[in-house]
Amino acid sequence: MKRARSLARLNGRILSIFSQRTTAALRAALPLRLALPHLEPVLALNITKEVRKDMLVILRARELAPEEPSDWNTVLPQLMQASKDIDRTFLARIGSFPVGVVIRYEEITPIRARRMKLLYDAALRILRTENSRQRLRGAMHATFSRDEFAQLLEQLFRLYADETRSLSRSVQLPRLLVPLREKIAQELFNVMIRVARPLASEIAAKAYRPTTPAQNEAITGIRPVQHSSEAANVAAATADIGVGEINRDPESNRPPLPAKDCC
């Protein structure tokens, strides 16, 4: 269970970093700068919603890891129902904002199912590594090569971007921006895709950098600089694979991005 919870915390931290990087890019893109005040409150809650859903997937994989592979067609409906319960909480919180959202399940469900399956399969492989006492970093290294891990992250980011694009089409916008709704949704998707590959490669490089046993022990004790209470909750997991400082923009000397997430 400890490894599964560490993996869930790590996944949440990675999603938050993806959101932070995307937010910075969105502020430089038109027409998104005009729509961002209306999108940002919704998307900030959306990242929390997605982290909770991913945790359900990972913990379900952990429950089934010691057993024979379960039929995905049995597991998926259970996860979908649980995700809709989380959606209802999300929509209730959105109700206090001056915007409206309708989740288009006919559009989102196939994308969500693909992302859940990808994450579920990856979690099963990591959690089924033979050495049950192995730390998360060691289990990941035993399961994926660096390139495979980067490809996995990029695929998950792309599916998340696709689902977020669908959600953004449902956000209520001012009348002047309504004709731009589809363009705004597509540009949001484009920005997230541009962020996805370099960030996936950066995280994989950090997670798979060579270490001696002594250095690895030191890494697991590092606590990165915290920017929010949410970041503090996942510090142990990110330190475990050495990505504590990944939220610093590698293309500039700017300080780490703020903890406020939008996507």
Q: Where are the domains of the chain?
A: 2-241
Residues 6+ apart with CB under 8 A from 95: none
Give percent of the chain above pLDDT 90. 40
Name residues whose C-beta falls within 8 Å of residue 147's C-beta, 6 or more positions apart in sequence.
204
Q: Model confidence over 202-227: pLDDT tens digits? A: 999 999 987 655 444 433 333 343 44
Tokens 């001696």 correspond to what residue? 212
Report the pLDDT value the prediction gives residue 238, as an integer from 0 to 100: 43
Contact partners, residue 168, CB within 8 Å, separation at least 6:
39, 42, 43, 184, 185, 188
Split at pLDDT 50, 70, 90, the class of 118 is: very high
Provide the pLDDT for residue 261. Answer: 52
pLDDT at 64: 83
Instruction: Look up residue 117 and give its two tokens.
Output: 């399956």
Q: Where residue 27 falls among pLDDT bands split at 50, 70, 90? A: confident
pTM of the model: 0.77
Amino acid at 148: E
Alpha helices in the chain (DSSP H): 2-26, 32-64, 72-94, 105-127, 136-143, 146-169, 181-207, 213-219, 229-233, 235-241
Q: Tell me how far apart the alpha carbons of residues 171 and 168 are, in angstroms, rounded to a whole number.
A: 5
Contact 262, 44 (CB under 8 A): yes
Nearest to 28 by CA among 194, 169, 245: 194
> Please, what is the end-to-end C-alpha distance for the chain in angstroms?
28
Low-confidence winner among 29-33, 45-49, 134-138, 210-214 (lowest mean pLDDT): 210-214
